[in-house]
Amino acid sequence: MKRSGSAKAVSKTVCSMISRKDVESTLGSSISSLMFYNIKKWAVMRSSIFKNINPYDINRIIISFHLFFMKNDEKVDPQTY
């Protein structure tokens, strides 16, 4: 397995690590999916529109997001979404 991170202690330190395989089997999702979810959550929680919504509802909002890809200069059709 390829190492994906490094750490350097600057004083006496206790380290803990977990493999990608163990995270995915424990949480039931891929690392990239979890990272993408966390990026969406970070963005929503810092939004002035959503800042007063409780964490449970923020999670419900994020789960309901639809992912789609667009070509350069393509416009979103409001009728589609």
Residue 14 resides in a domain:
no
Range of the domain at 24: 20-63
Residue 13 resides in a domain:
no
Instruction: Output Rg (C-alpha) for the chain, integer angstroms.
Output: 18
The residue type at 28: G
Residue 51 resides in a domain:
yes
- pLDDT-derived band at 3 (thresholds 50, 70, 90) equals low
Residue 24 resides in a domain:
yes
The CA distance from 38 to 23, in Å, is 15
Q: What is the pLDDT of residues 5-33, one digit of tens each?
A: 777 888 998 878 778 788 778 877 777 77
Instruction: Give 20-48 as a 3 state SS string.
Output: HHHHHHHHCCCHHHHHHHHHHHHHHHCCC
Find all residues with CB under 8 Å of 43, minimum gap 6, and list them: none
Supply the pTM of this predicted model: 0.49
Residue 53 resides in a domain:
yes
Q: What is the pLDDT of residues 18-76, one digit of tens each?
A: 787 887 788 777 777 778 888 888 888 888 888 888 889 988 888 888 777 888 888 88
Number of structural domains in the chain: 1
